Structure 1
Amino acid sequence: MELSPQILGGWLDAFAAEVAENEALLTDLDRQIGDADHGANMVRGTKAVAALDPADFADARSYAKKTAMTLISTIGGASGPLYGTFFLRLAAALPDDGPIGHAAWLEALRAGVQGVMDRGKANLGDKTMLDALIPATDAFENEPDHPWQSAADAAAAGRDATVPMVARKGRASYLGQRSAGVADPGATSATLLLVAAARTLA
């Protein structure tokens, strides 16, 4: 695969489409254990990114950085800085435009996930987006023949695993035991990010 702003743009356009299609689900999940605004916030942020023209950027790294700043400024709440940090760290780890292979993508994904961990002070099992992102990245590493589909499948399994969890981070943690029984909204939107990658980057 040749890395370019257009390649990343295709991924993020697909992400915006997935978010728009699942806005009601994200809102309903967040209504039960959050502020009921995750759907609207994610739609606003991904629409703003989809409005960027990849042709305006010299390379994929600069496009990813602009994506990060756009998400931070438009999503709002905790999700904006978390998604923004993911793409900032991913951008910094990306190679220059040109061929990008499995190892380089893995390094960029791991950098992005570490950024989310650092920013949110969370880890696997805390009932956050990391419960989708960490298994997805591990699956990406372990299935080099079909890494993106494997990552998407693992993200979905991680999302589903958040249903019985009691939240330990974020607004849902204020609910204590009442946060159990609902899939985490952040893990759900993060799964959509990997589903979009499987559709466009495979």
Structure 2
Amino acid sequence: MKYQFRLASAMFCLLANCVATSRTDFSQIDRSEKSLRLQYAQELETKVLKVGPSQEISIGQFALQSLSNTSPRYFSVSSLSPLKSNDPLEPGVIVLRKVQVDRSLEFEDGTTKFRHATFASIVEFLVISPLGEQQRILGHSEQIISRTIPFSADDKESKDKIATSIQSAIEEGLRQIVSLEDFPSFFKSQNMFQR
């Protein structure tokens, strides 16, 4: 009886270990299949928005920070690296190519009385299919309104509003990418390239 109990216990432990190992293997496979390489145009590292005679906002750095923080919410990222302007575009990669911030000031008709300012951002992604085909994705932010003249002496929020609008544009672009019809096959093909 003791022998049968020990045998049953050993079999149970062995079975439990096999199930745990197979689950770990499947989750690792699943994670690696859904792991993507991201790249960004190297010039984004120094892309700025001039906001005054001697003042600049580093919108490229805002975009890269947003991409780095946001993309893991949509898929697993195996790497994020710069792409030089003369580098070839590799199949199975997503590239953040451009970021742009539009701002405008509105005054009351016929006066110089300030009404409000608006900020809106747009980013451009290139999705390179496994066959090397390129698809251009644009991410837009909603207009963000500020009641303070941007970058004036009493302005403390314009920089944050620009960062927020870029973050919003990045998120919108990533949502479009993951909703592409062929996105699931994009995952699998990139995993093949990684091997």
Q: TM-score, normalised by structure 1?
A: 0.30
Provide the TM-score with structure 2 as the length reference: 0.30
